[in-house]
Amino acid sequence: MELLERPLPKPTSDDYVGARLLEALVEARLALRFLEEGLVRNAAGKAFQAWRALLAAMLRLELDKLVQAAKTEEERRWLRSKAVPRVPTTRMVKLSQMLEEAGHGGVMAWTSVALDLHDYQYNGPDPDMALSKYRTREEAAAAVVELVKEVARRAEALKGRAKWSDELENALKALKERGN
């Protein structure tokens, strides 16, 4: 887990995408570990963090396309200075829409799941569904598992586009083993 404690490379660095992918895979593995221990709310938080890190990697990979598609200089600046390095929770839907336009189909739907899990992390199960989209722990746990599978699938799909290290390969393998 010390992998997550390393300083994050600058978003302009070639190592940034790999670092964010590694973060996504390690966070996803932690989500499964928390599920095994019965800590569903903690697992939901880790699954959300895994998705957010994956979005950061995808945003960095597509930054040139996104900047070209931006309508204003202010939006271009925001993409470079805030969107990629921070992936603000309040803008994840918009950023996911942009990634969909850049060719990453299905990102918006999975972002919705991640945001629902983020709400669950803070509010827990909610039979009335006023504060959380999950009525039971079991519903949330199932969503965690599915989001983690999607993180692994999408990270692996980026192998040819990211600087892929042995560390990344080992993290992906460990996540897949834990997920089975």
pLDDT at 13: 80
Q: Which of 129, 108, 120 is nearest to 48 (CA)?
A: 120
Higher pLDDT, 180 or 137: 137
- Answer for the pair 19, 164: CB distance below 8 angstroms, yes or no: no
Residue 6: predicted pLDDT: 77
Mean pLDDT, all residues of the chain: 94
Q: What does the alpha-carbon distance between residue 3 and residue 171 come to, in Å, rounded to a whole number?
A: 10
For the stretch 112-142, pLDDT in tens is 999 999 999 999 999 998 989 999 999 999 9
Position with higher pLDDT, 78 vs 5: 78
pTM (two decimals): 0.94
User: Could you give the angle at the alpha carbon of 152 between the alpha carbons of 26 and 54, nearest 5°?
Assistant: 70
Residue 1 has pLDDT above 80, yes or no: no
Is residue 12 very low, low, confident or very high in pLDDT (cuts 50, 70, 90)?
Answer: confident
Confidence band for 143, pLDDT divided at 50, 70 and 90 = very high
**Model pLDDT for residues 23-68, shown as the tens digit of each residue:** 999 999 999 999 999 999 999 999 999 999 999 999 999 999 999 9
Q: If you search the block for the tokens 């996803």, which residue do you land on?
A: 28
* Per-residue pLDDT, 174: 95
Report the SS3 class of residue 89.
helix
CATH of domain 13-179: 1.20.120.330
pLDDT at 109: 98
pLDDT on residue 2: 64
2 versus 178: which is more confidently predicted?
A: 178
Give CA–CA dist 46/52, Å, rounded. 10
pLDDT of residue 4: 67
